[in-house]
Chains A and B, each alone.
Chain A
């Protein structure tokens, strides 16, 4: 036993002890991930290729059907493709609305004036009480529209200039405009926090060089918060998965408890929906990466 080897052994032992402790810290999450995440994901993927029947004793009878579920969903089902289309149309419209709105509001809230905190509190309010069911009630009673939009005949304009189905969807969106804007509370916070990351010195420097606030916004603020725009896009998308007016959710639920279609078919619906979402997320992540200053740390 030479001392060098002893020392090396001690070192290895020490390293493994600290690693063991680290894994202990991670243990609850790891167990949870396996049980409540990885296993359900695998199972639901398996279900998507099966025809599942409930037997009388409450257990499942599987029958492998390959891609049949997906074919049925896209070719036979007369609701699902339309609802998917509606959802993605809504999403494409809602994303920019929410992002631009929260950017404008956060810019305003970022200025220094008295009573700033009152306004901040107001704009964060909806996060506190946007229960899905409450939103639905408000929407049904038509409390979610912006009054002056209907007064100035915006909906008439839309009806004249778009195809009927698109127009119907857009008027529906107008009807819940405020409820859409309501889901930008967290995004506003993220933007405000994002503004803090741009050093004040830069603004002072360009000011001395004679740049107008307008120019400094386009040249400094906007590029500076680009990562946060991507972040907000991500957050908004995840938020819209469970937006109470998401038609795909209802569809999956109805098929789950439907005897003729069942769990397998419902799984296939969910997976196809997820595939489309992955494509969108990939686009956003690509956009995030392209901004160079790739920040993974985020709120």
Chain B
């Protein structure tokens, strides 16, 4: 009799313990050990991120939606996001107005050639800063840092005069030649990225190559550069994108014979409607809205495509090149 009681008691306790443990498991799953690694926290996190991401992408959605609206839809305030009928006319207009084919070639030249040159020159400089000993190294380092901080407004006037004397205005040379000498767009940053990457390579490699009697140049081009493909990729992608989006310098140095897409966009209205755009910031003309957005889309589309293909290296490469240690 007594034993039965005890057994019953114990089984009850065991059941309770089991329920308790289950409850704990659920709690652990939901809240995690420290409130920030449970399901609830994750859901809140994803929810927040999604809202911010939506806000972030909104202008892009706006661009695409406005681009596909016909004039009637643009004038109709009840049509907000989804056009009543998809209208490709804006794209055609913008394509013609931007002189898309030729400007695309120009912009590509402007983006690819200096980027490739930058990789070579900046990696040479970065290697010297990372691994070689020479007097005045710290001075050079400080100067490179300084070139990064100098606002372009300071040197734009002398550069304009120099380029016009050399007859480089309106040619891609204004971007290519400075890149060749390590002074291209954000070159200082690329030099620092390369330096950082080379510092993270094991020294033993270079020592071994030197012992085997390789010259410095051979060592660099045969061993170091092939090893630094990830850093080269990151630099190339950044450089490509920045050159593509560059507006300030190109608006100064390039005018009519050699026009990248970004400049064409500012002239789009004049181009299509034969009238100069009004200077009032907020005077929006619904007639041209769609066409302008189509133009903007045509400009951002190629780099977007590149990014979709290369985004894995973009984001991971930045972390892997040890840019920041």
Cβ-based interface call for B314 (8 A): yes
Residues in B197-241 with C-beta less than 8 Å from chain A: 199, 216-217, 220, 241
The answer to the question of B101 belonging to the interface, with a C-beta cut-off of 8 Å to chain A, is no
Contact B157 A270 (CB under 8 A): yes
Shortest A256–chain B CB gap in Å is 6
Question: Which chain B residues numbered 118 to 139 have a C-beta less than 8 Å away from chain A?
Answer: 121, 124-125, 127-128, 132-135
A44 in the interface (beta carbon within 8 A): yes
Closest to A20 in B: B134
Interface band, chain A: 35 or more
Check A121/B158 contact, CB under 8 A, given A26-B134, A242-B152: no
Stretch binding the partner chain, chosen from A5-13, A64-72, A133-141, A155-163: A133-141
Minimum CB–CB distance for A231 against chain B, Å: 8
Q: Is B323's CB under 8 angstroms from A298's CB?
A: yes
The answer to whether the Cβ of B112 comes within 8 Å of any Cβ in the partner chain is: no
Asked if A134 meets B42 with Cβ closer than 8 Å, knowing A28-B181, A141-B66, A297-B199, the reply is no
Chain B residue contacts of A32, Cβ below 8 A: 178, 180-183
Which residues in B have their C-beta under 8 angstroms from that of A136? 266
Decide yes or no whether B169 CB sits under 8 A from chain A. Answer: no
Docked pose: A241 CA to B152 CA in angstroms: 8
User: Least Cβ distance of B179 to chain A in Å?
Assistant: 9
Give B221 Cβ to nearest chain A Cβ, in Å.
12
Give residues 190-212 of A contacting B (CB, 8 Å): 190, 192-194, 196-197, 207, 212
B192 at the A/B interface (Cβ < 8 Å)? yes
Which stretch (B7-15, B21-29, B47-55) binds chain A? B47-55
Say yes or no: A256 contacts B196, CB within 8 Å: no
A229 beta carbon closer than 8 Å to chain B:
no
**B251 CB, min distance to chain A CBs, angstroms:** 8
Check B147–A37 contact: CB distance below 8 A: yes
- Which B residues touch A111, using CB under 8 A? 36, 42, 45
CA–CA, A196 and B200, complex, Å: 15
The answer on a CB contact under 8 Å between B245 and A298 is no
Known: A126-B56, A182-B56. A249 touches B248 (CB 8 A): yes
CB <8 Å contact, A28 and B124:
yes
Q: Is B303 an interface residue (CB 8 A)?
A: yes
Chain B interfacial positions (CB closer than 8 Å to A): 34-37, 42, 45-46, 48-49, 52-53, 55-60, 62-63, 66, 121, 124-125, 127-128, 132-135, 140-141, 143-145, 147-162, 178, 180-183, 189, 191-193, 195-196, 199, 216-217, 220, 241, 244-245, 247-248, 252, 261-263, 265-266, 281-282, 284, 289, 292-293, 295-296, 299-300, 303-304, 306-307, 311, 314-315, 318-319, 323-325
